Chain A
Amino acid sequence: MSVVTGIGLTPFGRLSGASTLDLMSRAAAEALADAGLERREVDGLITGYSTTHPHLMLSTVFAEHFGLRPAYAHAVQLGGATGFALVMLAHLLIEAGAARRILVVAGENRLSGQSRDAAIQTLAQVGHPTHEVPLGPTIPAYYGLVASRYAHEHGIADIAELAVLMRANAARTPGAHLTDPITAAMVGESKPIAAPLRLLDCCPVSDGGAAFVIERADSARPGPAIRGAAQAHTHQHVTAAPSLTAFGAGDSAARALRQARVGLADIRFAAIYDSFTITLAILLEEIGLAPRGAAGRLAREGHFSAGGAMPLNTHGGLLSYGHCGVGGAMAHLAETVRQMRGQAGPRQVPPPALALLHGDGGVLSSHVSLVLETSR
């Protein structure tokens, strides 16, 4: 069994002057300190990627920079799903006995390390090179297409409530990128980006870093246990998506829950990828945490609030804590661990025994689900 014994999370936002390696180092140092470990006590290293520091071997670039000589190391790339894919891999490596204690780390100066135009242009290249990119789509445009289908089938007015909730959560989280309160009306009146999505439906581009220590369970070193981990990959390009209303998230989450031998009804905390309001609505509904078309309404009714039945992204999510690339979703896991430990300060909920985490990469094309349980 694998447990999370250390978390490190930098503030997200504009962290001028900090490079990818600086942000990875800050997060890694914090995770090691949190786990009460020295560098030499880690034998495995898995990293994500950075668009501002592209390299064939980012893991060992980081190992040399930070001062690690791991027995096992490499990087992983799975778009927005990378953060949880790293955690799933660490879990599997621990279970397999390939490593005893793994440092998982990501960081990127995605905001200050390049112009906003460059960031948008880099991300837009995930489209198909001959059949999509020449048409000038952007990441918000792909999600705008998805959102148009959702609007057609369910109506879309309520999903702004998810942005409002994430902003309220971020206001109680030190280090959050965006903390000024917003209303659903402000979301609806914000600048059009890719219809029907507007500026406040989109997460910001941030600088930031995140890291975890994941190790073999040991009663002397307690931490939330990874009880289930599963993936689903249905396609790559939006043109090739089997559907824009049903994705692999439900399949992935159901398998992670089965592996953990628990049901959705046992889950007390949700940490779900929220690159756009539409992403969060679709994932909540696909996983079964909200009826189809009802995620926004449930948010308005308080169901997903810290005091509600299913606290969700209590740190503010990608929509307001911020999105620095691979580290973005890792903040969801850092927050989950804090809530399980009872260390979430003013946003603390009754410490959840079981949490479900879900990340997506591409345009809802790659899915990774995790089930965490407080060690008993």
Chain B
Amino acid sequence: MSAEIPDWTRGAEGLALARCRACGHVQYVRRPFCPECGSEDLGVERASGRGTVYAVTAVARAPSPDLQAFAPYGLALVDAPEGFRFMAHCPAEGVAIGAPVRTTFRAFGAGLVPFVTPEDQP
């Protein structure tokens, strides 16, 4: 079932989460069990990609020469309404803490990464 839910960490455009059917705990970094209660009864769901910016930075010095071509790039931690926090790329300027955002995906380095933009920007 989980194979049908698109997940950017596996190369498909989508944010996935796992919800524990026993206690309701939501996890973004998925394990085969619930870290809160230990249950292995999990359901994988597609997240809306909406959220609120919790923290934001702009990376001027990339970690490796191949990524330096993308710099400066914005990095944000975003709180999703489904109950998890995720890291995403964002515009390097003009993204404020508390801003509502939506998610698209873009190529970065060797793969695909989530990219959030403020709801009030086109």
Contact = CB atoms under 8 A, between A and B. Distances in A.
Interface string A122-145: 001000101110111110110011
Contacts of B59: 136-138, 140-141, 144, 194
Nearest to A147: B57
A209 to B, nearest CB: 26
Contact of A136 (B55, B67, B86): B67
Q: Which of B57, B61, B75, B111 has the most CB of A within 10 A?
A: B57
Nearest to B58: A195
Interface in B33-83: 54-65, 67, 70, 72-73, 75-77
Interface string B20-31: 000000001100
A244 interface: yes
B103 to A, nearest CB: 13
B9 A131 contact: yes
A120 B61 contact: yes
Q: Which of A120, A130, A134, A191 has the most CB of B within 10 A?
A: A134
Nearest to B27: A240
Nearest to A116: B61
A146 interface: yes
B87 A148 contact: no
B1 interface: no
A137 B87 contact: yes
A240 B70 contact: no
Contacts of B77: 145, 238-239, 244
Given A131-B86, A131-B87, A148-B97, A136 B61 contact: no
Nearest to B93: A195
Contacts of A195: 57-58, 60
A89 interface: no
B85 interface: yes
B57 A141 contact: yes
B64 to A, nearest CB: 5
Q: Which of A117, A147, A196 has the most CB of B within 10 A?
A: A117
A132 B87 contact: yes
Contacts of B63: 120-121, 124, 136-138
A134 B97 contact: no
Given A121-B63, A239-B86, A244 B54 contact: yes
B110 interface: yes
18 contacts: A117-B65, A131-B9, A132-B87, A134-B109, A135-B75, A135-B89, A136-B63, A136-B64, A136-B109, A137-B87, A138-B61, A148-B97, A149-B55, A149-B97, A195-B58, A197-B57, A237-B29, A239-B87
Interface of B: 9, 28-29, 54-65, 67, 70, 72-73, 75-77, 85-89, 97-98, 108-111, 113
| 10 cross-chain pairs, A with B, having the tightest CB-CB distances, nearest first | A144-B57, A124-B63, A145-B55, A195-B58, A192-B60, A152-B97, A130-B9, A136-B67, A138-B63, A148-B55
Given A134-B108, A134-B110, A137-B59, 9 more contacts: A131-B87, A138-B61, A144-B59, A145-B57, A145-B75, A145-B77, A148-B55, A193-B60, A197-B57
